[in-house]
Structure 1
Amino acid sequence: MDRAPIAVFFALKNESGYFEDRLKKTSCVHANGFRIFSGTLGKHAFLSVVTGAGESAAGNAAEAICRIHQPRLVISAGFAGGLAPELPKHALFLPNEFAGTDSADWEKERLSLFSRLSPEHLPTELRKETRFGGRLLTVRNIVTKTEEKRELALKYSAQAVDMETRRLAKYCRTQNLPFLAVRSISDAAGEPIPDDVQTLVNQKTTAARFGAAFQLLLKRPGSAADLYRLYESSVASALKLADFLEALSDSGLFDFLSENFYPPQEPEKLLSA
């Protein structure tokens, strides 16, 4: 039997594109509202899944992908907003706690690959730009105001905020699947972002996002500079994610994973390898 793939979940294509450019023997399919790009990197098979923004979209995609493709590891990758001042723009954040605004509970994954990850798995330059450990808060909408970022940081003791990861972490826990989250900080704690960004993110297709951007330019011509800054930031963050995923693939960190993880196994067995 072929080795089961590693599934990497992104919300948007501009998060996944540079990673997908590095895959070999690729193919792409669209199904059930999300896109699956498959290929190899080194000796590992990968699925790059673009789910759309939000917990619901991420959860639906995870359930379908894990049922059909039975990955041996799930990675939540993408951008995040910084809540902690010590996380600079474009830093990599590897959380080991996952919280939401609708509950006082938080998840600390038994099967998180974080427990096996060390700075030595990364090249020196990437290591310097990576924060190991902390809490990632998942919210319903993009946090645009610096005041709101400060409030969320204080209330939830979180270092960064996204819109998908908690749902993926909870699903993997119920399935006893190894899990890892990596986020590139697209906007730092003290950096506001335009309110219009939420409209762009809500669009389901690239064509729809272009249309929304065009309407935004007609409505507010000065938004051209904002859009260009967002584009530059997304490129830098996506490149950092691709560098990280490629470095992990080359590091040997994934070698402890079983050939397949279905049917689910006991956590103690998975982590004792």
Structure 2
Amino acid sequence: MTAGAAPVLLATGLLREARILAGPGVTVVAGGGDHARLEAALDRLAPGARGILSIGIAGALAPGLRPGDWVVADNGTDPGWATRLAALLPGARSGPILGMEAMVAEAAGKAALHRETGALAVDMESHVAARVARRHNLPFAAARAISDAADRSLPPAARVGMRPDGGMDLPAVLRDLARDPRQIPALIRTGWEAERGFRALLRGRDRLGPGLAAP
């Protein structure tokens, strides 16, 4: 990216993702599951951006995708940007990424969405980022590292762990564990698998470099 070029606007969910992605040539917004706040922030920053990229971790909808795998969206994205992302991210699969208003936590729900839409992965930011990009006539792309496989159901404690600012709501997690300690093994497994997604995100960020392969 040349000196003085406009930054790429990154849409993600968690503060941890934002910390991983922060660096030269980008401005990161963590939505924290608050779609209205995410959209308002992206709208405010879009006039000074060269493109919008939805990037972070995601749940798999397609069988065969495992934690740490990459999916690059081919639905409604800038073709050149998507091609560069797929070439640079190791082993990336190209296909639709579905953005949803609510977390898709049950394996049965993931399977149903895959049958209905053909999407490979699901997140909570890509649809918002795409909408803002269209409104501002900016290039859009989406790339997501898988954190939970299609056949995994997230334990209830994992579903309450995100604050609206994208941080970790540890008290909410502990309260849920106190109500049902039997979910502790599943929560530990979920944490380890999510860690593989975060590590893949870090490696991918380094491979893409400043500007994250944007036009």
Please confirm whether the aligned pair reaches a TM-score higher than 0.5, indicating the same fold.
yes
Percent sequence identity over matched residues?
Answer: 25
Coordinate RMSD, CA, aligned: 2.5
The equivalent of 2:74 in structure 1 is 96
Secondary structure in 1 matching 2:90: helix
Matches within 5 A, 1:58-207: 58-67=38-47, 70-97=48-75, 108-110=76-78, 113-117=81-85, 119=87, 122=88, 126-128=89-91, 130-131=92-93, 133-201=94-162, 203-204=164-165, 206=167
Kept in 1: contact 2:148–2:190 (CA 8 A): no
Runs of 4+ deviating beyond 6 Å: none
Kept in 2: contact 1:144–1:192 (CA 8 A): yes
TM-score, with length taken from structure 2: 0.86
1-structure distance, mates of 2:146, 2:78? 25
What is the identity, as a one-letter code, of the residue corresponding to 2:159? Q
Displacement of 1:112 after TM fit? Answer: 6.4
Kept in 1: contact 2:63–2:149 (CA 8 A): yes
Aligned with residue 192 of structure 2, among 232, 238, 242 = 232
Kept in 1: contact 2:65–2:149 (CA 8 A): yes
Per-residue CA deviation, residues 53-94 of structure 1 (Å, 9 max, x unaligned), is: 153333122112224xx1112211112111111322221100
Kept in 1: contact 2:14–2:167 (CA 8 A): no
Between structure 1 and structure 2, the one with the greater Rg is: 1
1-structure distance, mates of 2:26, 2:211? 15
The equivalent of 1:268 in structure 2 is none
Kept in 1: contact 2:67–2:196 (CA 8 A): no
Aligned with residue 21 of structure 2, among 6, 15, 19 = 19
Gapped regions of structure 1 (runs ≥ 5): 24-39, 98-107, 258-273
In terms of fraction of residues, the more strand-rich structure is: 1
1-structure distance, mates of 2:38, 2:52? 12
Kept in 1: contact 2:78–2:140 (CA 8 A): no
2-structure distance, mates of 1:183, 1:149? 16
Gapped regions of structure 2 (runs ≥ 5): none
